[in-house]
A and B are shown apart, each in its own frame.
Chain A
Amino acid sequence: MTARTVLLLLLPLLIASGCSSDEGEPPPGDPEVGQAAIREYGCGSCHVIPGIGGADGRTGPSLERIAKRVYLAGVLPNTPDDMVRWIREPEAVDPRTAMPNMGVSESDARDITAYLYTLK
């Protein structure tokens, strides 16, 4: 039984008991692939990222609980679409940002976003 099936089985229970999980649908993308992509792009050299070995950079902010953060980069409302946009083209979101454009592909950005949204 995969984790997803377990979740699906539990879902009616959660709803019935009135315990809403506060997120809606998880963002499209594969969190596991995203986790590998984060290692590949070296995000951890600038950010602390839980679950990524050696990700202890102190150039940018820590990404602990990034799924709960209200704003991205202090300027964008934190939605999956905005997260993808920010990861792909940070300079388009905030021209003054120190975050570089790493040439992340759309699908990589989706997967990375899926992983980041597991950080609650």
Chain B
Amino acid sequence: MKNQNRQDSVRKIRKRIEIHVGIAIAALVVAMGVGAAGFVYWGAYNVSALQQHTEPVFTVLNMALDRSIRQRAEEVETPRLTAEMAEQGRPIFQRKCVQCHGAPGVGRDDVGKGMTPVPPNLAHTAKAKSAAEVFWSVKHGIKMTGMPSWQFKFTDEQIWNVTAFVMRLPELSPAEYQAMVAEEHVEEGADRNDVSAPAQARRAATPDAERGKMAMYGYACIACHRIPGTVGPHSDVGPPLAGIGGRRYIAGVLANTPENMVHWLRHPTEVDPLTAMPDLGVTEQDALDMAAYLETLE
């Protein structure tokens, strides 16, 4: 009987403790939620590029970045990277990479300074990462870092060439790099896009609307237009593209046919010399894909 009583009271006490702990946890979760919301709403987080993350946050973010790239690079099949490929990748590297990453003995341009995260020194990257990881990063870009995706600018073959050159960087002394660059002078005034190959290599049989949607990011269309199906700054520089598939005119001047849309996307200033829509160097295949996506926006 006594024993029974004791067991009962022990059970009661335990239950009471459980309830209290439960309430405490729930209160903590709510408090954290409110705190996080307040942190965001009152702008407590300093987004200045010169206010580096705290060491633990930096470590976690870096790990997320490294793991994400490594995971995805596993599916990339690396070809044999030859000296010839590296040689072909060098001019692309000079024109597109050096301004942010620098090169052996060459400082980065102003845009590559004062950035957070700081664009890595690529000789170091080449030692720390696999070619597949470099290829993946160049092809797909890296969110929130300033690293753009280059897949709407270069073919996979060209990206492998750049990768081949990057992987060679640790072997190059500054003097050797200088000698290489001096051989073929890159004119500063020259069109920086002329290293892009014609798009034939990427020509698909039928326009691919899904790829067209990705091109809306790849060509930064979302910086000026609201485009259904994309997430972006919701900017009203140009008109919203909801319903563009059913619109009668493009830019108020061209009948809305697939051919005209491709023409407009590629050469807006030819269609209307007064337009604020810039010529973005859209390839024909990319324009076909983009037009296919826009057509779905009824």
Contacts and interface: CB of A to CB of B under 8 A. Distances in A.
Interface in A38-91: 48, 58-62, 64-65, 68-71, 73-75
A98 B276 contact: no
Nearest to A93: B274
Say which size band chain A's interface belongs to: 20 to 34
B7 to A, nearest CB: 62
B240 interface: yes
A48 B251 CA distance: 15
10 nearest A-B residue pairs (beta carbon): A61-B239, A75-B274, A96-B253, A70-B237, A59-B248, A68-B236, A97-B252, A71-B276, A74-B275, A69-B236
Contacts of B247: 58-61
B157 to A, nearest CB: 36
Interface of A: 48, 58-62, 64-65, 68-71, 73-75, 94, 96-99
B238 interface: yes
A59 to B, nearest CB: 4
Contact of B252 (A62, A65, A68, A73): A73
> Which of B224, B242, B243, B253 has its CB near the most chain A CB atoms (within 10 A)?
B253
B277 interface: yes
B240 A58 contact: no
A79 to B, nearest CB: 14
Say which size band chain B's interface belongs to: 20 to 34
Contacts of A75: 272, 274-276
Contacts of A61: 239-240, 247, 252
Contacts of B237: 69-71
Contacts of A64: 240
> Which of A48, A59, A62, A74 has its CB near the most chain B CB atoms (within 10 A)?
A74
Contact of A74 (B242, B246, B248, B251): B251
Nearest to A94: B274
9 contacts: A58-B247, A61-B252, A62-B239, A69-B239, A71-B237, A73-B252, A96-B253, A97-B252, A99-B252
Given A65-B240, A94-B252, A58 B246 contact: yes
B38 to A, nearest CB: 18
A67 to B, nearest CB: 9
Contact of A98 (B224, B238, B246, B252): B252
B165 to A, nearest CB: 40
A96 B249 contact: no
B249 A98 contact: yes
Interface string B240-260: 101100111101110000000
A56 B238 CA distance: 19
A15 to B, nearest CB: 20
Contacts of B272: 74-75, 94, 96
Nearest to A62: B240
Nearest to B274: A75
Nearest to A69: B236
Given A65-B240, A70-B236, A58 B253 contact: no
Interface in B1-47: none
